[in-house]
């Protein structure tokens, strides 16, 4: 029997996340993203299927990236409107009992003192089901929404991220010691002030006195997710992340990436198992392969290639709207397209990749079409390459997830690839069986705990130190 994979639903509090154009599909209810009923229904479906978490992506700005403007983003609802994912996570706590709630928040958007309290509140109310996807934002519009003229330079952004997590670690881990809350009406009062500390942070960007406004939540620090792919981003993830999100083209490519990043984790003094790898995939499931491909072609009819080009181009910093989609990629010397070009031409011998082919295949990268058994075989290959979990993207919502829950999960469970029941405990305990609810080991957050310091002070005071 295999080790189980982690499954997250990869979503966004928006009209169109990955498969642009599909918002027009009559079975897609994602256009109801403004309503709680849509999300409650989705969350309950995921919990029924024993998904580990709802993973909410986010943006805090939309650049003028396609045909020099934003029209395509609005027309196709691509990441705009985009509502707040932390508020949505809060709204789903009561509708679920076990589902993890992982949301994205940029260091650009919130002051860490306020952010830390929002997260602690979420973690308290959910009994420890919260994960934070840490992002540093590169968007120019996002920068300009928060008072900057231009995005902060790359390396400086990660120095900023380092300070940001330092502040929140101090608040979550270093401000209230274990045992600070007494809740003892008879004698001790509600809390013991000698175990509650100001943090006195004075750094490059932030000065934060403290103490933290919330008492320690079940996980203290939420499960930390980070998906930076640059050198500085990967180093940050190696030091801080407990899960990282990759979108590799093949299991073989994943194996290389996973091994490389795990080496960085070890170099950062952590255990290689301290970091989980989530691969982004999506599924079109049929009872036969033919049926699956028929479904896939039917979905394709709704695809907006203009929307896909706008999204992919934005991520690559290329305005595809100004290039001819029918021309071979080779005509444009674009460094960011080399890997995809090679991948496409190997998969389609004798064909020269055109821009349109690339946009389509890049966006569709990670879509697996087949029977549940075929998909299970493929997932085994991803697992063998070192992948710990899957971020499942949808074509229609909740439809794509209902298909996974009803048709794929039973086959995966029979192979041990999916969990049959939720384990008890917090999100962290479920993702890392056998470990406690709070961060342990060489994680930098643990450095701010005062337990040891006070324990030794107490020992010294009793003359036993």
**Which residues are part of a known binding site?**
58, 104, 154, 158, 229-230
CB of 144 to a second copy, least distance (A): 4
d(Cα 402, Cα 422) in Å, to the nearest integer? 18
- Within 8 A by CB and 6+ apart from 205, the residues are 160, 163, 164
Q: Is 323 in the site for a second copy (CB under 8 A)?
A: no
The one among 27, 41, 67, 192 contacting a second copy by CB under 8 A = 192
Tell me which H or E stretch contains 107: none
The one among 146, 273, 290, 330 contacting a second copy by CB under 8 A = 146
Of 413-442, binders to a second copy (CB under 8 A) are none
Prior bond of 81 cis (ω within 30°)? yes
The annotated binding site for FMN is made up of 58, 104, 154, 158, 229-230
CB of 29 to a second copy, least distance (A): 12
Of 113-142, binders to a second copy (CB under 8 A) are 113-114, 117-118, 120-122, 124-126, 141
Number of residues that bind a second copy (CB under 8 A): 74
The first and second tokens of residue 19, run together, are 């498969």
Residue 282: is it exposed, middle or buried by C-beta count within 10 angstroms (0-12/13-18/19+)? buried
The one among 6, 12, 56, 60 contacting a second copy by CB under 8 A = 60
Q: Is 109 in the site for a second copy (CB under 8 A)?
A: yes
Pair 178, 451: CB distance under 8 Å? yes
The one among 41, 67, 110, 444 contacting a second copy by CB under 8 A = 110
CB of 238 to a second copy, least distance (A): 29
The one among 196, 235, 381, 414 contacting a second copy by CB under 8 A = 196
The one among 8, 9, 12, 16 contacting a second copy by CB under 8 A = 16
- The string of DSSP letters for 6-20 reads EEEEEEESBSBSSST
Tell me which H or E stretch contains 260: helix 251-267
The one among 27, 44, 67, 91 contacting a second copy by CB under 8 A = 91
**192-197 own/partner pairs: CB under 8 Å, 24+ apart:** 195/454, 197/450
Of 259-298, binders to a second copy (CB under 8 A) are none
Give the phi and the psi of residue 214 in degrees, each rounded to 5: -105, 145
Q: Is 93 in the site for a second copy (CB under 8 A)?
A: yes
Pair 59, 16: CB distance under 8 Å? no
The one among 2, 68, 204, 213 contacting a second copy by CB under 8 A = 213
Classify the phi-psi angles of 267: left when phi > 0, otherwise alpha if psi is within -120 to 50, otherwise beta: alpha
Q: Select from 93-101, 225-233, 388-396, 413-421 the region that touches a second copy (CB under 8 A).
A: 93-101
């Amino acid at each position: 029997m295999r080790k189980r994979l982690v499954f997250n639903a990869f979503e966004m509090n928006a009209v169109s996340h990955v498969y642009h154009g599909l918002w027009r599909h009559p079975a897609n209810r994602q256009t109801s993203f403004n309503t709680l009923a849509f999300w409650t229904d989705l969350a309950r479906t995921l919990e029924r299927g024993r998904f580990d978490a709802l993973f909410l992506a986010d943006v805090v700005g939309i650049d003028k990236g396609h045909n020099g403007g934003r029209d395509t983003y609005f027309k196709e609802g691509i990441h705009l409107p985009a509502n707040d994912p932390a508020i949505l996570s809060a709204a789903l706590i009561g509708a679920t009992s076990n589902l993890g709630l992982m949301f994205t928040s940029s260091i650009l958007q919130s002051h860490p003192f306020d952010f830390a309290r929002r997260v602690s509140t979420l973690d308290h109310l959910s009994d420890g089901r919260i994960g934070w996807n840490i992002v540093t934002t590169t968007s120019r519009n996002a920068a300009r929404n928060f008072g900057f003229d231009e995005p902060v330079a790359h390396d400086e952004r990660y120095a900023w991220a380092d300070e940001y997590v330092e502040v929140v670690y101090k608040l979550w881990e270093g401000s209230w010691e274990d045992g600070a809350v007494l809740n003892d009406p008879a004698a001790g009062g509600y809390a013991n002030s000698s175990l509650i500390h100001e943090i006195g942070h004075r750094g490059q960007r932030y000065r934060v006195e403290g103490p933290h406004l919330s008492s320690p939540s079940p996980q203290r620090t939420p499960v930390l997710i980070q998906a930076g792919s640059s050198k500085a981003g990967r180093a940050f993830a190696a030091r801080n992340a407990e899960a990282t999100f990759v979108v590799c083209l093949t299991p073989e490519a994943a194996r290389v990436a996973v091994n490389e990043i795990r080496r960085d984790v070890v170099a950062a003094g952590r255990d290689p198992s301290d970091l989980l790898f989530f691969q982004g995939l999506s599924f079109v499931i049929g009872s036969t392969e033919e049926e699956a491909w028929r479904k896939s072609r039917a979905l394709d009819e709704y695809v907006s290639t203009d929307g896909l080009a706008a999204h992919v181009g934005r991520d690559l910093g290329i305005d595809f709207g100004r290039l001819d989609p029918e021309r071979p990629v080779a005509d444009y010397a674009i460094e960011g397209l080399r890997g995809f070009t090679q991948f496409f031409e190997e998969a389609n011998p004798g064909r020269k990749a055109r821009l349109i082919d690339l946009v389509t295949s890049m966006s569709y990268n990670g879509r697996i079409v087949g029977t549940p058994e075929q998909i299970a075989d493929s997932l085994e290959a991803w697992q063998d390459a070192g992948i710990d979990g899957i971020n499942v993207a949808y074509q229609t919502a909740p439809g794509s997830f209902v298909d996974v829950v009803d048709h794929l999960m039973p086959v995966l469970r029979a192979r041990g690839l999916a969990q049959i029941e939720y384990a008890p405990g917090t999100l962290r305990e479920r993702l890392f069986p056998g470990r406690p609810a709070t961060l342990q080991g060489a994680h930098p957050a643990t450095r701010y705990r005062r337990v040891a310091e006070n324990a030794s002070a107490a020992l010294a005071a009793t003359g036993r130190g």
